[in-house]
Structure 1
Amino acid sequence: MLSIIPSTTRLGQLTDEELIQLTRDGDDRAFGEIWRRHAAVGAAIARRITTRIDSADLVSEAFARMLQAVRNGAGPKTAVRSYLATTIRSVAASWGRNLRPTLDLDEAHEVGFTDDRFDALDESDRHEAAVTAFKSLPERWQRALWYSEVEGRSNAEIGELLHIKTTAAAMLASRARAGLRKAWYAGEAA
């Protein structure tokens, strides 16, 4: 049985097939080694497939789906890299269907935010609600919003800071703004 491996054997010495079996047997460290081996190639595949979706997001989702499949007794038995590439393509296609055409936010005209409900709050309530909504966002969204709205950085600068393409930075900032609005309204309704 593969799960009985001498303690002197390092994960880096095992084949992908052995690591997948160890993962099936419950060893999460083995899947970490799979990630280490194939994440860079996965990112390259993701960048070739689409520029509209952040490659790091695609790779993370593909690995998450692969791990779930392996834990459920499915997933790759051999050819881990091929399975990963297919999963990345599947995720990109699925997410791509939900994308709407985007425009460069640096060139878009600023639309003012007006809402009578916002005026009804006093200054301290507005501040607390904004902070709560902001803190509820994923860290990546918080960083994108901070760079964009507080520091006034361009999408190109945000892309450099987050190590993503300019278009991905624009999409990330747009999703973060939408997430902040949603969090704001959810907090207001509570």
Structure 2
Amino acid sequence: MIVIQWGDTDEPTALLTKARTGDDAAFEVLYESVAQNARRAAHRIVRDAYAADDLVQEAFYHILRAVRSGHGPTDSFSAYVMATVKRLAYRYSKTQSQTMCSDDNTLWERLIAPVAFESPQADVVAAAWETLPKRWQQVLWLIEVDRYSPAELAPRMSMTANAVSSLATRARSALRSAYLAQLQEA
């Protein structure tokens, strides 16, 4: 473990101030002081050295962007890094738990084979789906099929979690109405 002794001019808050103004060397010193511990923390959560390295790099990328835009930590740099790394590692672990691994080729073939809808309602559902705006189709697919939560989608959609939830509710209602209208036409 590398222990860095901070001098009067190189304490973390002074280095953060320098990094905020674009000093790459200052951010490098901050990086070197915390990266090894951050890797260890990420590895404890994800149990994969390569994924842990990627998560640490992603955390530092986000932190550097935040610092350069005037946001991010103003003190307690190492605590901020550790919190960011842990948040990313837990999110990564959650997405990996949805991954299914199998050596069974027949299962793989069934999973990638096109789904044949034999139901007469399939055409009605497809027609109702096509009447929805693309944004509503997207939010319904992400929430109902891909199982994302509104909180996970909020940053991607530049909305609050409540706004995403409200959008999904309106989209479900519109799909229901469109489905009933298609049934009446059929």
Q: Return the TM-score normalized by structure 2.
A: 0.47
Please identify which structure carries the higher helix content.
Answer: 2
Larger radius of gyration: 2
Q: Return the TM-score normalized by structure 1.
A: 0.46
